[in-house]
Amino acid sequence: MKRILVTGGAGFIGHHFINYLLTRTDWHITSLDRLDFSGNLNRLTNIIDESNNRDKAKKRLKIVFHDLRAEINEYIANDLGDFNYIIHMAASSHVDRSIEDPMSFVLDNVVATCNILNYARNFKKLEKFVYFSTDEVFGPAPISINYKERDRYNSTNPYSATKAGGEELAVAFQNTYNMPVIVTHTMNVFGERQHPEKFIPMTIKNVRDNKLVSIHSNAKKTKAGSRHYIHAEDVANACLFLLKQEYASLKNEVDFGGAKCPKFNIVGPIELDNHELAQEIAKAQNKKLNYEFVDFHSARPGHDLRYALDGSLMKKLGWEPKKNIFERIKDVVNWSIKNENWI
């Protein structure tokens, strides 16, 4: 049986990935988390309770508490054991907090990444180490530009800079120690049990309560910011797809630009601006959208109007999101209204 370690397993994306593994594999899963601002053990409790075989799911999932700002000492290492796969999703990811306290993001996203890489580099059975990066390392995207995996970086805030730093460490460990590292970039993931500070759960709640929704826009307040939104289950599906790929067989099909470390963009099906998204959320609740455009882009440093990734490489390999994005939005709205404690 395969063994997989998911760092940040009690986080938003991490718990969706663990849930996907529980339903699609027979692997033994270990979640490594420190349970702070982002991590919430109730997420894992919920997915276990909702499992078709609760007792079996509990036996397959092990939870280990550790702060990756500190190295993994021999006691933690003995508790964890060896793994076939490591998915490094643990990170701090809030732009405003990174602007207020950049050093904490260096510790969480760079130092922590070095610690987990260093722990894993001597594994004899390690098949893949996935570093979970972000679209924000590329910076703002002009209209009609979608960044490919190996385009230049242009970090516009400490959060994205530290994610780029962690990514380069992962590449360095591939080059130096011949670790089987791959890198993914994704953008604006949404879904059930997301932290209520994020735009979608916040908008769901504000629409439900007939409150004003603030829409990130340009300086003239005429155009909303846009993203390629993607549901967390689609991200989980893409990650499992990549774990099962044999990259040696793809050399004639995929140009990695001479670099050893493969990189892949996991991209939502269509680009939506935040006004369109808010309208869909209101529509799902049969309510009118009360909104205002807010010029975050000029007033607050590090907030970019548009991010965009090119998803053609994953499509070439045979992967793309399975479900219509508008159905996904409606599902999340309905679930959130029924489970209001999460918003």
Q: What is the pLDDT of residue 57?
A: 80
When pLDDT is cut at 50, 70 and 90, the band that residue 52 belongs to is confident
Q: What is the mean pLDDT of residues 72-95?
A: 93
- pLDDT (tens digit, 9 = 90+) per residue, 126-152? 999 999 999 999 999 998 899 999 999
pLDDT of 254 strictly over 60: no
What does the chain come to in residues? Answer: 343
CB 162 within 8 A of CB 120: no
Gyration radius from the chain CA atoms: 20
When pLDDT is cut at 50, 70 and 90, the band that residue 247 belongs to is low
CA distance 223 to 308: 16
pLDDT of 59 strictly over 60: yes
- pLDDT (tens digit, 9 = 90+) per residue, 197-230? 899 999 999 999 999 999 988 888 888 888 899 9
Q: Which of 144, 185, 274, 280 is nearest to 221 (CA)?
A: 274
pLDDT of 298 strictly over 80: no
CB 153 within 8 A of CB 110: no
Helix/strand/coil (H/E/C) assignment for every residue in 158-221:
HHHHHHHHHHHHHHHHHHHHCCCEEEEEECCEECCCCCCCCHHHHHHHHHHCCCCEEEEECCCC
Q: Which of 87, 29, 7, 20 is nearest to 51 (CA)?
A: 20
Q: Tell me which of 191 and 197 has the higher pLDDT.
A: 191
CA distance 84 to 126: 4
CB 88 within 8 A of CB 113: yes
Q: What is the pLDDT of residue 96?
A: 84
- pLDDT (tens digit, 9 = 90+) per residue, 175-189? 999 999 999 999 899
> Who's near 174: CB < 8 A, 6+ residues apart?
180, 181, 260, 261
Q: What is the pLDDT of residue 224?
A: 84
Q: What is the mean pLDDT of residues 45-62?
A: 83
pLDDT of 4 strictly over 80: yes
Beta bridge partners of 190: 231
Residue 81, phi-psi category: left (phi > 0), alpha (psi -120 to 50), beta (remainder): left
**pTM, whole model, 2 decimals?**
0.92
pLDDT of 258 strictly over 60: yes
Instruction: Tell me the CATH number for domain 3-194+228-270+306-323.
Output: 3.40.50.720
Domain boundaries, the chain: 3-194+228-270+306-323
CA distance 339 to 55: 24
Instruction: Just list the catalytic residues.
Output: 159
